[in-house]
Amino acid sequence: MGPDQTSRNAVPDLMGADGIWHHTPGPRAESPADGHALVETDPEPMTPEPSLEPIAPHDDAFVALYEATFPAWEREPTPRVLARLDAGRYRGERLTDPEGRIAGFYVVDVPPGLGCTVLTFLAIAPGWRGGGLGVRLATAAARRFATEGPGAWLVVEAEPRPARLYARCGFRRLALDYRVPHYDDPAATQAMALMVHPRQQWATAIPGATVARWVRQAFIDGYGLAAGDPRLTGQLERIPERVRIEDAELRSI
């Protein structure tokens, strides 16, 4: 956002609906009509923000939004998601509006012994998109990770548009050719960004062996691949000895 855009957002009453800046009149004496004008021009009350609360076991609204948001190729089987939520391996929160309807959610995975936490799912209900709730949920997940962990890194796979959202929340992309398998096709892959957020402080790179452990876990335990699946072996071959974190030096200033 450039300086001009920032200043315009700060004083929007100076710019007309036509996008042109207009001069405002100078001070004048009050008139009897002013009170009426204030009543007429008062903004409508703002809709209360949804509140953040834990995802309850077998939450039907969560299931409906999850299944409606993620296409078949990247949708983990619902029964397994619910089982892992019940077992405490998956941990999540939902945004609930004042009428009790779900506005969005995030779910993190805490794989045993992996040394990282994975931001597995984040979704916003259609009527709430574009209002900043994605940033709110990603930030909530990062704060939860900072206080609870485990591990040194919060990891997320992201397509281009979500990747931009995560970048605004402090995540940084690994310099890695990363392609995830499809759930519904035994041969297909999808290019994604593999992004990280530190629990304490930034590094400029992560050992390739650490990233390889994350990838094996995701592909075998998450996507259900066999250890010898060429999509897994091919991805492991694309991991360098040290994986650079893009723009990490900016985060440490």
Per CATH, which fold does 51-251 belong to?
A: Aminopeptidase (3.40.630)
Domain locations along the chain:
51-251
Q: Using CA atoms, how far apart are residues 177 and 193, in angstroms rounded to an integer?
A: 8
Q: In degrees rounded to 5, what are phi and psi of residue 81? A: -60, -45
pLDDT at 46: 60
pLDDT tens by residue, the chain, 253 residues: 444 443 333 333 333 443 333 333 344 344 444 444 434 444 454 668 899 999 998 899 999 999 999 999 999 999 999 999 999 999 999 999 999 999 999 999 999 889 899 999 999 999 999 999 999 999 999 999 999 888 999 999 999 999 999 999 999 999 999 999 999 999 999 999 999 999 888 889 999 999 999 999 999 999 999 999 999 999 999 999 999 999 854 444 3
Q: How many CB atoms lie within 10 A of CB 7?
A: 11
| Angle, in degrees to the nearest 10, between helices 78-87 and 60-69 | 130
Place of tokens 């991805």: 235
pLDDT at 14: 35
pTM: 0.78
Question: Structure tokens of 252?
Answer: 């440490």
Q: Using CA atoms, how far apart are residues 69 and 52, in angstroms rounded to an integer?
A: 19
